[in-house]
A and B are shown apart, each in its own frame.
Chain A
Amino acid sequence: MLVLTRKKNQSIVIGNNIEIKILKMGKNSVEIGISAPKTYSIFREEVFTEIQKKNVEAIKSVDVNDITDITTIFDQLREKQKIVEAAPQPTTPKKSTKKTT
């Protein structure tokens, strides 16, 4: 990893069109400004990693050999849902829509 030291309001430039600027420095955090073409998605690393992980999991979860392995489960799900819908629903008093000031 390339390591550079920067002061407040100094930048680094990556390639021809990405600029990363140090805006504010606190005790435990820094505020960074990024200018990049709109075609680049910018993520906080932990968010990127979390979603990447879920995407990989989603692909792996479809690793069955027959579509009926999936549709059977979804049919069961619908049946279950019907039972829930058919069950008597507890009656709850409707909330007043009047504004209280």
Chain B
Amino acid sequence: MEIISKLFGNIQYSKENVICFEEGLIGIPEKKNFILIEKEDFKPFSYLQSVDDGTFILIIINPLMVEKDYRFDIFKDDLYAVGIEENNPDSFSLFSIVIFSKQIEEITVNMKATILINVITKQAKQVILINDDYGVEEPLIRQASSEPVNLSRKK
């Protein structure tokens, strides 16, 4: 299958790699199917490209890269919604949505409503954390006093 992405040009993908948000993103129910674009050059950022709309693209980052002690308490129902069993924590990945800006200091990350992806079944959902530790626009670069964000490409 094929999508012409505004940023990445022609992308060939297979159906098995399509990540499905059954309900869409919160407040944007129309776009449900995405592919994850990961490249060594982009790390630690990745992209979610809608396969229904070439112009619909999200920049995402593992929240642990922004806050190494990222704590996420989520409702069991949210785990079940994407087919994750409680005793199988390795089967999912987490991403936070980045709000990009050409002014580096103005780049923010939504650390409160996280994207949960079942890496096996590719079911996904944007879930709101129960814990109140983070906001919807956390600066990507923290103040000098706190831990620096880990942006190195090496893992």
Contact = CB atoms under 8 A, between A and B. Distances in A.
Size category of the B interface is 35 or more
A66 B57 CA distance: 12
Given A76-B104, A77-B151, A58 B81 contact: no
Choose among B56, B100, B110 the residue with the greatest number of A CB atoms under 10 Å from its CB: B100
A63 B56 CA distance: 9
25 contacts: A38-B77, A38-B81, A39-B23, A41-B23, A47-B128, A48-B27, A50-B136, A55-B26, A55-B27, A56-B27, A58-B59, A59-B57, A61-B59, A61-B99, A61-B100, A62-B7, A62-B58, A62-B100, A69-B102, A74-B151, A77-B104, A77-B141, A80-B141, A81-B149, A81-B151
Contact of A58 (B42, B110, B151): B110
A62 to B, nearest CB: 5
A66 B9 CA distance: 10
Sorted nearest first, the 5 A-B pairs with minimum C-beta distance are: A52-B27, A61-B100, A67-B7, A51-B113, A51-B26
Interface of B: 6-8, 22-23, 25-28, 41-42, 45, 55-59, 77, 80-81, 97-102, 104, 107, 110, 112-113, 126, 128, 136-137, 140-141, 144, 148-149, 151-153
